[in-house]
Amino acid sequence: MWSSRLMFVLAAAGSAVGLGNIWRFPYIAGANGGGSFVLVYLLCIAIIGIPIMTSEILLGRAGRQSPIHSMRDLARQSGASPMWQLIGWMGALAGFMILSFYGVIAGWAMAYIVSSAQGTFTGVDAAQATAIFNGFIGDPFEVVAWQTVFMVMTVVIVARGVGEGIETAVKYLMPALFILLIALVVYAMFSGHFMEGVRFLFSFHRGELGWDGVLMAMGQAFFTLSLGMAAIMTYGAYMPKDASIVGTATTIALLDTLVAVLAALVIFPLVFANGLESSSGPGLMFVTLPLAFGHMTGGQIFGTVFFILVTFAAVTSSISIMEPAVAWLVERLYVPRKWAAIVVGGVAWALGLGTAFSFNIWSDVTILPGKSFFDTMDFVSNNVMLPLGGMLIALFAGWFLDAKIRNDELALSPGMFAIWRVLVRFVAPAAVFVVFVMTFV
């Protein structure tokens, strides 16, 4: 059990805030043209993300076990089909896929701690920052070495269990990251291209975004809020009974969105100030931020601290990606927590080699048409499995969950409850369904 409501909020926010906000949101928004993408993304957070997050916390707290077992028991108590356990299984599978590439990218961030500390970025221009990045990801040994360090860190923390590790990391480091991001936004304000960045992010043009862009925005909303794979459900299982579910979910979503927007407000002004390409892909953050650090006073220290904090933000997320599978192994196979963490981490690490190699020796290999190993993992997990899982979670919570269990957990006023029910029963599942149909059919 988390020691207090605040700790649950911090841990769930720690899960939500991660590479998804600082690394993925800016590059995906950039690749999809900015403004319209951001608008759809914000809409998805509000009408799909928050309702599904309340559902996950609700199911987790009512079930109080790993997702697979919580779903099995809740389905039984509600007189619904045991097939609902599938949500837990799919979540564990999506977790492996996400963790596999998450470890690689977090490894990049760790490598950048060392580069920053060594002063590698001092005075670099855009071409040099790009060359440094390409040189680094082009070296499979270095990338895998850092990926390994990161995965070992994750396994060690997860092996020690909820509480100690997670709580301390989140309590001090997340606020620090937040403050540093704000300082960077102030720096970006003086880049001379701040308004260009703002306009890129917030000006909406009709018809600019196709349905595949909408799918990407929806996938990003799920990924960034850690939804659809029962990670938040797992954390919900440890949430104290007296905390408000809807209030907590809304707080977490707002915090998470704020961090993503701040990160983008740092990155895009720098992109425009340095004549970089907004649609350049996964390297966006790793090229733009060194430019900033390379030119500011104290940038060497600032950059080092920043990448340390990004690494911690990544760890507080990666432990939650791992937790559903680990919790299940412990409950089901009675293996010690330590071994469960090692097995899950090991499998994700091995799968992650495919992502590590996508940027060097396997850069020509495609799995889905036109998609590298990394792009395939990312696409299938974030854009397909998470929304599908989230839709099933909302459907179960909205239509099938025993009314008494639901009302006990939610404790909403009649008006709020009516809104909640419409969102969870109809709006959120239908929105996912429509986006799927429009993109894939």
Size of the site for ligand PFF (CB under 6 A): 15
Q: Which of residues 221-280 bind ligand PFF (CB under 6 A)?
A: 223-224, 226, 229, 231
Q: Which of residues 16-35 bind ligand PFF (CB under 6 A)?
A: 16, 18-21
d(CA 92, CA 72): 15
The distance of closest approach from Cβ of residue 223 to ligand PFF in the complex, given in angstroms and rounded to an integer, is 5
How many CB atoms neighbour CB 404 within 10 A?
10
The distance of closest approach from Cβ of residue 321 to ligand PFF in the complex, given in angstroms and rounded to an integer, is 4
Contact segment (CB under 6 A) with ligand PFF among 105-113, 155-163, 316-324, 401-409 equals: 316-324
Nearer to ligand PFF, 78 or 224 (CB): 224
d(CA 169, CA 165): 6
The distance of closest approach from Cβ of residue 260 to ligand PFF in the complex, given in angstroms and rounded to an integer, is 8
Q: Nearest to residue 356, comparing CAs of 184, 140, 182, 132?
A: 140
Q: Binding of ligand PFF at residue 48 (CB under 6 A)?
A: no
Contact letters (x/-) for ligand PFF, 68-107, by CB under 6 A?
A: ------------------------------x---------
Task: Write the single-letter amino acid at 80.
Answer: A
Nearer to ligand PFF, 273 or 340 (CB): 340
Q: Nearest to residue 197, comparing CAs of 29, 362, 16, 65?
A: 29
Nearer to ligand PFF, 226 or 355 (CB): 226
d(CA 15, CA 27): 20
The distance of closest approach from Cβ of residue 16 to ligand PFF in the complex, given in angstroms and rounded to an integer, is 5
- Provide DSSP, 205-235: -TT-S-HHHHHHHHHHHHHHTT-SSSHHHHH
Residues 342/334, Cβ–Cβ less than 8 Å: no
Nearer to ligand PFF, 75 or 231 (CB): 231
Contact segment (CB under 6 A) with ligand PFF among 275-283, 289-297, 314-322, 353-361 equals: 314-322
Residue 154 has which token pair? 């994750």
How many CB atoms neighbour CB 51 within 10 A?
29
Find the length of the chain: 441
Contact letters (x/-) for ligand PFF, 387-406, by CB under 6 A?
A: --------------------
d(CA 173, CA 82): 41
Residues 45/257, Cβ–Cβ less than 8 Å: yes
Q: Which of residues 317-336 bind ligand PFF (CB under 6 A)?
A: 317, 320-321
Q: Which positions touch ligand PFF (CB under 6 A)?
A: 15-16, 18-21, 98, 223-224, 226, 229, 231, 317, 320-321
